[in-house]
Amino acid sequence: MASIKMIHSLCEAGGEGSPSNPVKFKGQDYKDLRNTLLDEGREFVDETFPANLQSLGELEETTAEELKEVEWLRPREISRRASFVVDGTSRFDFKQGDVGNCWFLSAIGALTLHKSLMMQVVPLDQSFKDDYAGIFHFRFWRFGKWVDVVIDDLLPIRGKRLVSVSTNSQKEFWAPLLEKAYAKICGSYADMIAGNPPEALKDFSGGVHMSYVLSKSKPDLWDVMDRAIQCQTMMGCGTFGGKKGKEIFSEFGLVDGHAFAVTGAQQVESDGNKVNLVRIWNPWGEGEWNGAWNDKSELWRTVRRDVRRECLRVCNDGEFWMTMEDFCDYFEELDICCDSPNFVDDDAECLWDCSLKEGRWEVGESAGGCDNKNEEFWTNPQYRLTIKGKKGHKNVLLSLMQKPDEKYRSKVEYHYIGFTIYKLPPKTPKGHLPYSASENIQLIKRSVFSSTRELIELHSLEAGEYLIVPCTYDPDKTASFLLTIYSKAEAEAQVDGGHLRPSRQKAARTQ
């Protein structure tokens, strides 16, 4: 698999925020805390995420009286045989609990297929036996930097079962503890309700994310998926909601408006014909497709015995196969997340450069909105990109991600964001371009605007120097953002600058 070369990064290798030196979330140092606890013979109680109803939040379909029944226990109080990991980590170790976070759990299912990433997110040198102090930690990529999240191991229990994700073996607790760490990032367990797999996939890797609307799928989508598997990507998907989703649920056994993980894709030969099959996993641990090529389908008798045995090793585990055609008909969207964009085309050996830039739109300073005919637009942050050569068709991928100031995930309101790309004439002076210079540059592309956490677009740019202007649709919206530019190494891309104060004073707004 080709790699990514970081040309400008928020955190250099080994620096704070890198995989080997993550930022300490809420300033909590896992090693220091653990050593102190062991010296004092105490078990950790996390005051920054206390074991109470505030940390649990308002769960869907759970009454106030039922919430009062919740108690918080440590795994060793739940099971005498409590273990962090038993025989490795797998998507079959757990299933969803009362928290409506299938988007997050489906992403965990995809994560378990990639052991190096799994070890980054879930440090495996943790135990309930040796030097146990009731403290654990997990790592997530958050807006350009890796963070280390410390938790205690008090888990919410009601009616003798976990309120959160449950453990299938009744004794393996890495998944419930991982969920608790992410709940701490989100603000509470309830703040994890509702979402899309790409958010968690990104937070597990910091990688490139692409979404495909399956009803408008590209003719080469199967090739894209095949390359994605070769590149060791994580993949998720979701079913239709609303009336259409209800009809699918009743007829074919699928869950409407639900997130799944894509765990494989394989071409088999059936009666002399090649059939493209997709393997999908339901984080409920049950609820499977009952159409063509389901676990009990007679169609499996038309393939070689060794292929059938390999594909159907376990039944009734929430995982199933279906044809690529049925996948595109009955699922709404496919999400792919990888550390490089190599899966997007057939240039699988290409090396990509990656540059990350932090920025912020500030009311009255650098939040000019999207109207490039307006002088205020040119107060937005600006970034320059130099393309010295080109190979292939799509050679630049742009990602614009909002970084919310809100502590609680459920309260975040994303602005409509986008960006505009201009081609600059040769020898354009460096620095922040003012409105007066806008007539001399060529508009190349104005992106769609979307109220999403991350906006991603692929572009084909010829050799030359470009100006990228990220902005909100409406002016005077304050927010932080992360701009990531991936370019094929042959392009020799360089990113200069960011938001530099224009030399002139900003004109007053008029109504």
pLDDT of residue 169: 85
- Cβ–Cβ contacts within 10 Å for residue 131, how many? 10
pLDDT tens for the 511 residues of the chain, in order = 444 554 445 556 678 889 989 999 999 999 999 999 999 999 999 999 999 999 999 887 777 788 888 999 999 999 989 999 998 898 988 889 888 899 999 999 999 999 999 999 999 999 998 899 999 999 999 999 999 999 999 999 988 889 888 888 889 999 999 999 999 999 999 999 999 999 999 999 999 999 999 988 777 899 889 888 888 899 999 998 876 666 667 778 888 899 999 999 999 999 989 999 999 999 988 888 999 999 999 999 999 999 999 888 767 688 999 999 999 999 999 999 988 888 887 776 778 888 899 999 999 999 999 988 899 999 999 999 998 877 667 889 999 999 999 999 999 999 999 999 999 999 898 889 999 998 889 999 999 999 999 999 999 999 899 999 999 999 999 999 999 999 886 665 556 655 433 333 333 322 2
**SS3 for 327?**
helix
pLDDT of residue 10: 59
Do 208-338 and 350-496 fold alike per CATH?
no
Beta strand 155-158 with 71-73: parallel, antiparallel or unpaired? Answer: antiparallel
- Residues serving a catalytic function are 102, 258, 282
For residue 508, the model assigns a pLDDT of 31
- CATH class belonging to 350-496: mainly beta
Alpha-carbon distance of 148 to 506, in angstroms, equals: 41
Query: Structure tokens of 456?
Result: 């991603």
Instruction: Name the residue ranges covered by the structural domains of the chain.
Output: 7-203, 208-338, 350-496
The b-or-e profile of 206-219 (16+ CB within 10 A means b, else e) is: bbbbbbbebeebee
Where in 271-351 does DSSP place strands (E)? 273-281, 319-323, 331-338
Give the 3-state secondary structure of residue 56. helix
Chosen CATH of 208-338 out of 3.90.70.10, 3.40.50.300, 3.40.50.970, 3.90.25.10: 3.90.70.10
190's tokens: 């309830």
- Most distant CA atoms of the chain, gap in Å: 75
Q: Report the distance separating Cα 457 and Cα 397, nearest Å.
A: 6
Q: Which residues, in sequence order, are CB contacts of 169 under 8 Å at separation 6+? A: 86, 93
Tokens of 139: 């790592």
What whole-number distance in Å separates Cα of residue 33 and Cα of residue 43?
A: 10
Q: Are strands 23-24 and 145-152 parallel, antiparallel or unpaired?
A: parallel
DSSP E strands, 460-502: 464-472, 479-488, 494-496
Which residue, among 197, 142, 206, 209, has the nearest Cα to 456 in the 3D structure?
209
Query: Residue 501's pLDDT is what?
Result: 36
Answer whether 230's CB lies under 8 Å from 348's CB. yes
Q: In what order do the strands lie in the sheet with 442-446?
A: 442-446, 417-424, 464-472, 383-387, 494-496
